Structure 1
């Protein structure tokens, strides 16, 4: 039980790290690729997709269990981070917007990890389980931007190294999701 909650806390930290890297680097990259007044459109598209996916995520979890939608979110993040690398490499603003929308598919899954922590706790331990999972995000608030700052010029093209770090975090997130022993959720028909 505690092991799974700690893994969810790690997952929350990785997911939030990806989110913080995306916010800090994509705005800078978009500003250098195009006019400054278009710099927030990639983040807006990411949050738009995140909002839509967050409406359907509980229903998908109720029908298929935790693992498939969380895998889907991590894969969306990996695709988005990979496309961000290409966008940074060739300075393609439109691809930066598209890649941010893919990362938007990962964001609500990260926010749902705290609720998944309830599956591994008793009624008395529920509030502590949520707090433990959410505490993982506090670490990423410092580590995510630092990773972005340190990795920004690791590859020959500016910003692509930070996106490589986000891709690595998505891969680690996918591995962590594989390690967590999620309970089976009874499949039900969507109403």
Structure 2
């Protein structure tokens, strides 16, 4: 049977429709992550009696769940399609919220951590939203489709923290039990939206094309190496600093509401620029946007090191979110240039496994670093990784220009 051209799979009208649906689903699903970011360390701190350094464990296991879920997510969606995978993940999100609420009622830390891990596993599927939006998009529209989906996080940045503020005392004196019930409700709405998603199955390929290139060959491409490294650093450094911030704020005498609002501004900064990040990538190039993102991550740490007032924390969180947006979306756009249509599910899953594996490590170490060495050390660690990634980007640009010149 003759292979179908990949061009027949391109439909920007459909891509726009899917991107909008996925953006709203991202707003609701992403709210769950921001709820855990804002409350997970605080819940852990309240539940733990002895070793308070484990207070950030709920965020860490959420990220670890995402890391473990990336490969299964790719395999499931390759077998059953994007919509089935995303809707199944929403059911997991509902279960996660209900289980977390039960754990808070029972003051059971390990059960709460398990609920966060389950939510992270569901989050692995949500990480594929950005790739799903690009599935039917033309090369010109792909960066915009990715940005549209990521822009859904703007609403998540409001919905998550505001849900915390509105529901934290719902079952007083048991703090945050109502928050996680509300999280389950948000997942129900996301499930309904995802039922309207329409992503055709990939084009049928010839036997020779079906398997794609060996994964080792794909992963040794210079562009893949740099894209993955920049994506890993952008996300892992963000997680390292963000995870420690609520506890650092409480330790400096600020309130839980101050911390929740700080996370709100952070998440807004993470996703707000997505309305125009795609256009910036089209105008200035992926590499420049990634470099700007890395510079903003460094600027976040500089501000954090200058003081411990609420303005320092909030400004640093905003810069941290902006840096993540430019660095991670730019790296994602770079990654889409490294694989063929028949290779996308495996490559995307492997990339996300690498990203969230390192993010989990950063999150796990964040609480211990803060507890043992202080807020300053957490921020100083950002600089060497930023320098490393900027060096890799420079090497890639020079190498590719040289290759074009000698071709």
TM-score of the superposed pair, with normalisation by structure 2: 0.44
Displacement of 1:6 in angstroms is 0.8
The partner residue of 1:63 within 79, 89, 96 is 79
CA deviations on 1:104-151 (whole Å, 9 max, x unpaired) are: 111122211011101342332221111111111133223311221211
- Secondary structure of the corresponding residue to residue 40 of structure 1: helix
- Asked if the contact 2:103/2:109 (under 8 Å) is kept, the reply is yes
* Runs of 4+ with deviation above 4 angstroms: 185-191
Which residue number in structure 1 is paired with residue 180 of structure 2?
A: 163
Deviation at 1:30, TM superposition (A): 1.3
The 5-angstrom pairing of residues 96-115 of structure 1 reads: 96-115=112-131
CA distance in 1, matches of 2:91, 2:80: 17
Once the two structures are TM-superposed, the CA of residue 27 in structure 1 deviates from its matched residue by 1.5
| Structure with greater contact order relative to length (CA < 8 Å, sep ≥ 6) | 1
Extract unaligned runs of 5+ from structure 2: 1-13, 205-209, 212-344, 347-407
What corresponds to 2:47 in structure 1? 33
SS of match in other structure, 1:24? helix
Tell me which residue corresponds to 1:141.
157
Shift of 1:186: 6.7
CA distance in 2, matches of 1:186, 1:59: 17
**For the residues of structure 1 that align with 2:135 and 2:171, how far apart are their CA atoms?**
41
Instruction: Give the 3-state SS of the residue equivalent to 1:179 in structure 2.
Output: coil
Q: Root-mean-square deviation (CA), in Å? A: 2.2
CA contact (8 A) 1:69 1:109 kept: yes
Give a deviation string over 1:42-73, Cα, whole Å, max 9, x none.
22221112101113322322222112221222
- Aligned counterparts of 2:100 and 2:128: Cα–Cα separation in 1: 24
C-alpha contact (below 8 Å) 2:45/2:55 kept by paired residues? yes
Residue in 1 aligned with 2:58?
A: 42
Paired residues, what number? 191
Distance 2:88 2:115 in 1: 15
Does residue 184 (structure 1) correspond to residue 201 (structure 2)? The answer is yes
